[in-house]
Amino acid sequence: MMDEVIKTHSKRIEEKGLSFTCTCDPSIPHFLIGDPNRLKQVLNNLLSNAIKFTPKGSISLTVQNITRNDNEVELKFAVSDTGIGISAKDTVNLFKSFSQLNDPAAKKYDGTGLGLAISKNLVERMGGQIGLDSIEGEGSTFYFRLKFRLGSQYIRNKTEPIPYIQKSSKQLSILLAEDDEINQKVILKMLQEKGYKVDTADNGNKALSLYNRGKYDVILMDIQMPEINGIEATQKIRENEPEGKHISIIALTSYALHGDRERFLAMGMDGYVSKPVNMNELFDTIEGLSSKYSQNASFVPDKAAISKEGNVVYESGKKQPHGNKLTQALHKIADEIKDMQAALENCDLTVVENRAHNIKTLANDIDAIELKDTAFKIELAARRGNIDDALANMKHLELELSIYNNSYGI
């Protein structure tokens, strides 16, 4: 397993001219029982961060045998670097979702701020705790301890029957972007059994290259990938997507922190499936989104009626909001925007987040999708402490509100 982790990052380490060492305590038993997938995810996240924030010098990975008895062993994993380091004030929120360093030196490094929050969540799920020691300007050491049950060399080879998968009536072309070889093979087999045509990519750059060359109905996008992660790849696709040619992108992730589903959707994704992938959930999400965004989807009326002119007209069950309700909601949204502008001027992001949430709710009540989505982006920007994004989206919100007002003569 350690060899796989090192191999994943060796190319980037070599490209940056960094030195790398890996030291494993020789007293560690050869066979242990634990969760290798989660452990690899944590080590990959920590090493990826170390490489990103180390412009020169070295990185080391060490595994120590802390305690051992007849049934289990406790190991300490540590990833150290000689990078930019972290100040004491930045360590407080470092393990929270979408948290990034406030240090100007760190601003030039792209990222979502998700890696450490994911790592903390996974370590805690395995019964451990994660921590760090860091000196700003000198480097950092991230470490965690985990207990493993002692195993044996004998592993039973159990082959389980593959459940029957009913073929889909839709001839869908799918791009599967997944860097983990085992996960890719399992998901690929599911999709092919369903009757879908599938291309695969093991990193974000390859996914973008295939997207630019091919024509896909759905993209399954792993969040954590080398070179370009799933979020960055999605943003690039959305930026270059032709008008009226929306492709469904479903996030694949091996973790599920509270509130992350909405955050991924706000970043341009259309759906969300957690790992290990549930086959039925995956198929339902794919089929549902392919129907929603299909350009050939036909209008199916809920009822037929006779107009005042005596013509037969078809109607859907979804009604436009009543005039008074619409007017009241748009006026309330305008008031909320004024409060939000004042809060932004005072850098009160708590108020900004609350007002944006109120606007999102009001917009949802009148089916003002553009207003709702923009308000949600402001809410997320405020939660992340990103005033620039909040201000930028505020301008969009004001423009969208003026369009609504003009359209309805308000």
- 92-106, 126-140, 269-283 — which one is most confidently predicted on average? 126-140
- The domain defined by 173-292 folds into Rossmann fold (3.40.50)
- Residue intervals in the chain for CATH 3.40.50.2300: 173-292
Q: What is the pLDDT of residues 247-281, one digit of tens each?
A: 999 998 765 554 556 667 777 888 888 877 888 88
Q: Which CATH number fits domain 2-150: 3.30.2350.10, 3.30.565.10, 1.20.58.220, 3.40.50.720?
A: 3.30.565.10
Q: What is the 3-state secondary structure (H, E, C) of the chain?
A: CHHHHHHHHHHHHHHCCCEEEEEECCCCCCCEECCHHHHHHHHHHHHHHHHHCCCCCEEEEEEEEEEECCCEEEEEEEEEECCCCCCHHHCCCCCCCCCCCCCHHHHCCCCCCCHHHHHHHHHHHCCCEEEEEEECCCEEEEEEEEEEEECCCCCCCCCCCCCCCCCCCCCCEEEEECCCHHHHHHHHHHHHHHCCEEEEECCHHHHHHHHHHCCCCEEEEECCCCCCCHHHHHHHHHHHCCCCCCCEEEEEECCCCCCHHHHHHHCCCCEEEECCCCHHHHHHHHHHHHHHCCCCCCCCCCEEEECCCCCEEEECCCCCCCHHHHHHHHHHHHHHHHHHHHHHHCCCHHHHHHHHHHHHHHHHHCCCHHHHHHHHHHHHHHHHCCHHHHHHHHHHHHHHHHHHHHHCCC
Question: Residue 379 and residue 142: Cα distance in Å, rounded?
Answer: 31
> Where does CATH 3.30.565.10 sit in the chain?
2-150
The arrangement of secondary structure in 323-407, i.e. its CATH architecture, is: Up-down Bundle (1.20)
Residue 225's nearest CA partner among 381, 9, 21 is: 9
Residue range 86-93: mean pLDDT, rounded: 74
Looking at residue 121, its pLDDT comes to 82
The predicted-structure confidence for 303-336, as pLDDT tens digits, reads as follows 444 445 554 444 444 444 445 778 888 899 999 9
> What mean pLDDT value characterizes the chain?
79
Which range in 71-80, 185-194, 279-288, 381-390 is most confidently predicted, on average pLDDT? Answer: 71-80
Domain with CATH 1.20.120.160 in the chain: 323-407
